[in-house]
Chains A and B, each alone.
Chain A
Amino acid sequence: MSESRIQLTDSEIEQLYRFCARHYVHWYDVQAELVDHLATAIEEKIAANPKLGFEQALDDVYRGFGYKGFAGVVAERTAQVQRANQKLRRSLFFSYFRWPKMVLTLLVTTAIYSLGKWLPGQVMEWVAAALVLCVLVWQFVLAARIGSISKRVSKKLLLTESAGSGLLFGNVFMQVYVSQRIWGTENEFSDIRLYALIALLTLSVVAMMSYYEYCKALYEKARQQYPAAFA
């Protein structure tokens, strides 16, 4: 493709980013592609007709996006990113039930099972409470780590928008365990209560670990693809 000799200035490029934002494209990763499209088309138009001003050329090019403007592009991009992110999140979650990470999952379940079988009921009550507390504290630690990674992003990205809002999912399993009295009587740490603890604590740990990995993977991908969006 022939390259036009006209080149838009930095301030005109910035103007195009603002133009995208005014037309409800708030994410840098979506804006970047649209800005390049608008800029290339404007440069070609001005090269063909030097009397054409920047604003007029921009209006002409934007008309090419049809009556919906950028809405169709944003909708498809959003759907695509959500689909890809959900797939990644599912895959990371279930990876803990496949080799090699399954070893970690089995270690957690075996450790809790062994504690439940060896320790007296009343002691196990305290151990179970301590484990639940540990998971809750650990959740805050992971949230803080994700928060610290997200601070490095200086521009809003659609790619990482879902990162940082799903850690509580792991907490749900713990809440189910804590809130249910059906697992056993107060004075006895029954088998059913032990199995519930094993299942719910393991799910909680797996959900949190996989979510943390998911957030890290998203930010890493974003950093590789859009280094300009990182401070």
Chain B
Amino acid sequence: MSNSNYLKGLLEPLVLKLLHEQGRMYGYEITQRMRNLTAGQVQLTEGALYPLLHKLEADGLVEAEQEMYNNRMRKYYRLSRKGKKQSVQAIESLQQFFQVLGMLVQPKIQAP
């Protein structure tokens, strides 16, 4: 099973976490940041990222702002107030989920 299959459900909290840490980011920057942080193990496709960013924007979790960059328009995303709360909860949920996964993958031998 490829990493992208594991990643599908985790994408939203991971993107929220990145935005929480970085302040504001544009789409391409998010894909590259994700790639660099995981040493290329996680490759976030553009086809998955933009629909997610647009969904987060529609849900009011992120706010977008446009700026001219060189000879083109660049759209930056940042967490809204609602998104900041949601990102903290999402990161906690993610950590709990990994602990549960750890219990499943490497169960401790119970003493009799």
Q: Taking beta carbons and an 8 Å cutoff, which residues of A are in contact with B? A: 1, 7-10, 13, 32-37, 39-41, 64-66, 68-69, 72-73, 75-77, 79-80, 83-84, 225-226, 228
Contact = CB atoms under 8 A, between A and B. Distances in A.
29 contacts: A1-B29, A1-B33, A13-B71, A32-B66, A32-B73, A32-B75, A33-B50, A33-B73, A36-B28, A36-B69, A37-B27, A37-B28, A37-B46, A40-B28, A41-B28, A65-B45, A65-B47, A66-B48, A69-B47, A72-B50, A72-B51, A73-B54, A76-B51, A77-B54, A80-B54, A80-B55, A80-B58, A84-B58, A226-B66
Nearest to B36: A1
A224 B29 CA distance: 24
Nearest to B25: A1
Contacts of B57: 80
A36 B74 contact: yes
Interface of B: 26-29, 32-33, 45-48, 50-51, 54-55, 57-58, 64, 66, 69-75
Contact of B73 (A8, A36, A66, A84): A36
B50 A36 contact: no
A40 B31 CA distance: 12
A36 B58 contact: no
Nearest to A32: B73
A74 to B, nearest CB: 9
Given A33-B50, A36-B26, A76 B55 contact: yes
Nearest to B69: A36
Contacts, number: 80
Contact of B45 (A8, A9, A64): A64
Contacts of A80: 54-55, 57-58
A-B pairs with the 10 shortest C-beta distances? Answer: A76-B51, A80-B58, A66-B47, A32-B73, A73-B50, A40-B28, A65-B47, A80-B54, A33-B75, A37-B28
Contacts of B28: 36-37, 40-41
Interface centre among B50, B51, B64, B72 (most CB of A within 10 A): B72
B50 A76 contact: yes
Contact of B51 (A69, A75, A226): A75
Contacts of A83: 58
Nearest to A40: B28
Interface centre among B32, B70, B73 (most CB of A within 10 A): B73
